[in-house]
Amino acid sequence: MWTFIIGVAALIIGYFTYGKYIEKNFGPNPDRETPAEILRDGLDFVPMPKWKNAIIELLNIAGTGPVFGPIMGALYGPVAYIWIIFGCIFAGAVHDYMLGMVSLRNNGAQLPVLAGKYINKATMHVVNLFACLLLLLVGTVFVSSPAALIQSLLPAGVPLLLIIVLIFIYYLISTVLPIDQAMGKVYPWFGAILIISSIAIGLSLIFGDHTMVELTPATLDNFHPKGLAIFPGIFFTISCGAMSGFHATQAPMVSRTMENEREGRFTFYGMMIAEGVIAMIWVAASLALFDGQTLSGMIDAGTASAVVNAVSIELLGSFFGTIAIVGVIVLPLSSGLSAFRSLRIIVADYINVKQDTLPKIMAITIPIYVISFFLTFVDFNILWRYFNWANQVTAVLALLVTTRYLFLKGKNYFVTLVPGIFMLYAVVVYLLSEPIGFGLGLSNLAYWGGAAITLIILAVYWKQGVDQKAKLDPSAKLINDQLSIQTLYPDLVNDK
């Protein structure tokens, strides 16, 4: 019990301490006009109140990630708590805040555009590919997983395909509506269900007759029943709730509806902390109610949705347990919708098709949904595996973009560079070792080769950043006609 309570307390304290430092390091300007005010279009750029933006951000980033991921992460044992706490405070929440705020300073630009501006044009194309792949996988996963949960609540015989089609219809209608109607009207209700059900499960764990596994020297070990290594496995299994690149595709969308830069810490950093709390609850519940073999068997039988059902009913009873399951269902429904909406925006920006008429919106939206529909027939666990890899690659790219921003601005860039280096190494090792990559297994070649590749990438990245920094120095002799900081990056100057 105390591991869970202290962990949740640490997350909250992290928001008020390290979160405050991250905000100060960035330097929000409450007097600066936001994209919602400057570019208001009644579709994607619409001013909304702080509390509504925060709820939308939470539901957008949550999905089934902070539920399914921690359930599967619980197979490693109580060590999962450590990654959630430290990953959330020092990596995930920093990632979300910085990307959201840099987007805010750039008219709500999505990650590919920011990569093109602060790194180079070639990187923009790479990031665009990964962002589109990630969002397509996320959208598909967040059709399949809520469909399975909904089917479990309905009478036997209701076909899964029918539920999937109905979810796509809901997504299609919501995607073309203005954001304040598609999300602003419905999400507060979804948010209330999520928050209440999460609190109910957490309190039931604390005050119920359940033995919660504590993190001690004796339990600080790898308990995975299949013997999967903690590194890099757990950092890809528990992504949402600790560190997730998917969030880098969602924060820019919310940056287009914010009315004041001071809202950033609560909306971006704070909602990531809230997601971390949700992840802690589901790890604790999985460890308290099941042993590793039972948990593994339930996951292997389908998805983690079976665990969600069992936990909810066991802790809250049939009636309130069903409400809790509904609370989990709204997570992927909201995140799936936001994933497809973000994908539409990214594709439209990339091919330069302004989203100002219904035919233009549908011309991009319909093909996306057709591709996603066929992907729903692919095994969920395969989709999840590729989603995890693409997700963390996107997180690394977002951290490198925001590190470059801080570096050019003369701020403390180590706050994003350190987690960026760690996750870059994890991504490279994962690619070298896993079957979806080179299949080398967790050998010395994978670890040392990963270290060498990571260092080469960082050396190129650092050299390019130093060259960019030199161009911003008015006293430097530049090749291209003494370009000034105002010419290259006006937002780095005009933010006071």
Which pLDDT does position 484 carry in this prediction? 41
Please indicate, yes or no, if residue 219 is contained in any of the structural domains: yes
Which pLDDT does position 367 carry in this prediction? 93
Please indicate, yes or no, if residue 69 is contained in any of the structural domains: yes
Which pLDDT does position 481 carry in this prediction? 35
**Do the beta carbons of residue 417 and residue 403 sit within 8 Å?**
yes
SS (H, E, C) 440-476: CCCCHHHHHHHHHHHHHHHHHHHHHHHHHHHHCCCCC
- Low-confidence stretches of the chain (pLDDT < 70) are 63-65, 301-303, 380-381, 384, 473-496
The tens digit of pLDDT for each residue in 123-139 reads: 888 888 888 888 888 88
Range of the domain at 240: 2-396
Dist. CA 244–CA 130, nearest whole Å: 13
Which pLDDT does position 490 carry in this prediction? 54
Which pLDDT does position 33 carry in this prediction? 93
Dist. CA 27–CA 34, nearest whole Å: 15
Please indicate, yes or no, if residue 479 is contained in any of the structural domains: no
Please indicate, yes or no, if residue 243 is contained in any of the structural domains: yes
Dist. CA 254–CA 51, nearest whole Å: 12
Structure tokens at 10: 């640490």
Please indicate, yes or no, if residue 460 is contained in any of the structural domains: no
Please indicate, yes or no, if residue 411 is contained in any of the structural domains: no
Number of domains present in the structure of the chain: 1
Structure tokens at 171: 């997504």
Please indicate, yes or no, if residue 10 is contained in any of the structural domains: yes
Dist. CA 209–CA 204, nearest whole Å: 8
Please indicate, yes or no, if residue 442 is contained in any of the structural domains: no
Q: What is the CATH number of the domain that holds 24?
A: 1.20.1740.10
Which pLDDT does position 61 carry in this prediction? 86
**Do the beta carbons of residue 325 and residue 309 sit within 8 Å?**
yes
Which pLDDT does position 491 carry in this prediction? 56
The CB-based long-range contact list for 314-318 (8 Å cut-off, 24+ gap) reads 314/289, 315/200, 315/201, 315/204, 315/205, 315/208, 315/210, 315/285, 315/289, 316/200, 316/201, 316/204
Which pLDDT does position 482 carry in this prediction? 34
